[in-house]
Amino acid sequence: MLTTPEQRAAFLSENYWNNFDFADTSLITKPEITEQAFVDFIDILQETTLPKAETGIKNMLDKSLGGDSLMFEHFVELCEKYLYDPNSPFRREDYFIPVLRYIIDSDSIGELEKIRPQYLLTMALKNRPGEVATNFSFTTDKGKEMSLSDIKAQYTILFFNNPDCADCKRVKALLWEWQDERVKVVAIYPDEDLQMWRAAEYPAAWINGNNHTINKDKSYDLRAIPTLYLLDRDKKVILKDAPVEAILHFFEEQ
């Protein structure tokens, strides 16, 4: 008997797609059925453990691949749209990683079709929570050469931003107003218009730097700007590509 919400979520995550007709490709053009079902499925996954969620995702991919190749492609697209797109409120990289691994490991999928998933997996596996963030150098607005490992703070917020980006301005304003003596904000401009960057205003307490090669060397997965990371004293990643609200909530809970 399923007596707890966790047990019900685990059961549903593994059996959710049992009655869905993956052979009916007409359902691809009916987002009110297929896409909505997928969104509801993601909601269920949030209520269970990561291993159970991974099992549920694998079951979904098994069934879609066994139903029709077009349906499988559609579900992979839904996974990327909802779990990996930086603008998706549902984004969960830890749910998208098993999708990429499934594609790469499948004998039913051609090698050419695996090239992009392999690249996405390589990027997704960088700077995962619990890992030490990749060290990089930058030049501050005062002309000083520094590296991430030079920062001495209980917590570090890495704020990859562009002064002209509307959401960057929103995030900057929120972090500017919010202060915590345990935290050092390191704002990094990853592009090449240094004149615009130098003209922008940042809080004096922040470390404000630029590194215009960080996008090229792919040491960080900067799919959208702004991108924020929360690091601990040892520069281990606590939150990766997190909304500013999630970072502020972390400190509310401390």
List pLDDT tens digits, range 11-33.
999 999 999 999 999 999 999 99
Given a cut of 70, is residue 1 above it in pLDDT? no
How far, in Å, CA of 112 to CA of 130, rounded? 32
What's the mean per-residue pLDDT of the chain? 96
pLDDT in tens, 163-215: 999 999 999 999 999 989 999 999 999 999 999 999 999 999 999 999 999 98
Taking the C-alpha atoms of residue 129 and residue 30, their distance in angstroms, rounded to an integer, is: 36
Percent of the chain having pLDDT more than 70?
A: 99
Could you tell me which residues come within 8 angstroms of residue 5 by beta carbon, excluding any fewer than 6 positions away? 47
pLDDT value at position 254?
Answer: 80
pTM listed for this prediction: 0.91
- Residue 4: predicted pLDDT: 84
Tokens of 168: 């960057």
The pLDDT-based confidence of 119 (bands split at 50, 70, 90) is very high
What does the domain layout of the chain look like in residue ranges? 5-124, 137-252
The full 3-state SS of the chain, as one line of letters, equals CCCCHHHHHHHHHHHCCCCCCCCCHHHHHCCCCHHHHHHHHHHHHCCCCHHHHHHHHHHHHHHHHHHCHHHHHHHHHHHHHHHHCCCCCCCCHHHHHHHHHHHHHCCCCCCHHHHHHHHHHHHHCCCCCCCECCCCEEEECCCCEEEHHHCCCCEEEEEECCCCCHHHHHHHHHHHHCCCCCEEEEEEECCCCHHHHHHCCCCCCCEEEECCCHHHHCCCCCCCCCEEEEECCCCEEEECCCCHHHHHHHHHCC
User: Is-contact 134 222, C-beta < 8 A?
Assistant: no
pLDDT of residue 226 exceeding 80, the answer is yes
Report the C-alpha gap between 211 and 182 in whole angstroms.
Answer: 25
Q: What homologous superfamily is domain 137-252 in, according to CATH?
A: Glutaredoxin (3.40.30.10)
Q: Is the pLDDT at 77 greater than 70, yes or no?
A: yes
Task: List Cβ neighbours of 236 (8 Å cut-off, separation of 6 or more).
Answer: 130, 131, 132, 133
CB 244 within 8 A of CB 174: yes
Q: What is the mean pLDDT of residues 231-236?
A: 98
What average pLDDT does this structure show over 243-248?
96
Q: What percent of the chain has pLDDT over 90?
A: 93
Which of 180, 146, 173 is closest to 159 using CA atoms?
173
